[in-house]
A and B are shown apart, each in its own frame.
Chain A
Amino acid sequence: MIKNRYTKISFFLVLIFGIGLFYIGTDGFTAFTAETARVQQLKDDKPKFPDVTLEDSMGRKYSISEFEDKYVFITFLYTSCTTVCPELEYNMKQVYDKLPSTVKGEEIVFLSISFDPERDTPAVLNEYKDYFKSDGETWRMARIPNQAQLDSLLKAFGVIVIPDDNGTFAHNSAFYLVDKKGSLMDVMDYKKIDEAAQKVNNILERGESKL
Chain B
Amino acid sequence: MNQSFYGLLLWIFLVAPPVANFMESVMVIHMHMQMPMLVIAGMLMARFFQKRFSGFFEIWNSNGVPGITLFIVIMVYWMLPRTMDEALTSHLVEGFKFISLPFLAGISLRDSWKKLNSFGKNSIIISFTVLFLGLGWLYIWSPVQLCNNYLVFQQVTLGWGFLTTSIGMVVYLGYNFFIDPSAYE
Contact = CB atoms under 8 A, between A and B. Distances in A.
A and B together in one complex: yes
Interface of A: 3-4, 6-7, 9-11, 13-15, 17-18, 21-22, 25-26, 31-38, 160, 162, 164, 170, 172
B148 A172 contact: yes
A34 B73 contact: no
Given A10-B66, A33-B81, A172 B145 contact: yes
Given A7-B66, A164-B151, A37 B82 contact: yes
Given A6-B60, A21-B73, A170-B152, 18 more contacts: A4-B62, A4-B63, A7-B60, A7-B66, A10-B66, A11-B66, A18-B70, A25-B77, A33-B147, A34-B82, A34-B148, A35-B146, A36-B82, A37-B86, A160-B149, A162-B151, A172-B145, A172-B148
Interface of B: 58-63, 65-66, 69-70, 73, 77, 80-83, 85-86, 89, 144-149, 151-152
Contacts of A25: 77, 80, 82-83
Contacts of B82: 25-26, 31-34, 36-37
A34 B85 contact: yes
A160 B148 contact: yes
Nearest to B81: A33
A33 B65 contact: no
Nearest to B89: A34
Contacts of A162: 149, 151
Contact of A32 (B62, B70, B81, B145): B81
A22 B83 CA distance: 10
B62 to A, nearest CB: 4
Contact of A21 (B61, B77, B148): B77
A10 B61 contact: yes
B65, B69, B89: which has the most chain A beta carbons within 10 Å?
B69
Contacts of B144: 35
B59 A6 contact: yes
B55 to A, nearest CB: 11
A11 to B, nearest CB: 4
Contact of B70 (A17, A26, A34): A17
22 contacts: A4-B63, A6-B59, A7-B63, A7-B65, A11-B69, A14-B70, A15-B69, A18-B69, A18-B73, A22-B73, A25-B82, A25-B83, A32-B81, A33-B81, A34-B82, A34-B89, A34-B147, A35-B146, A36-B82, A37-B86, A160-B148, A162-B149
Nearest to A159: B148
A11 B58 CA distance: 14
B62 A34 contact: no
A33 B146 contact: yes
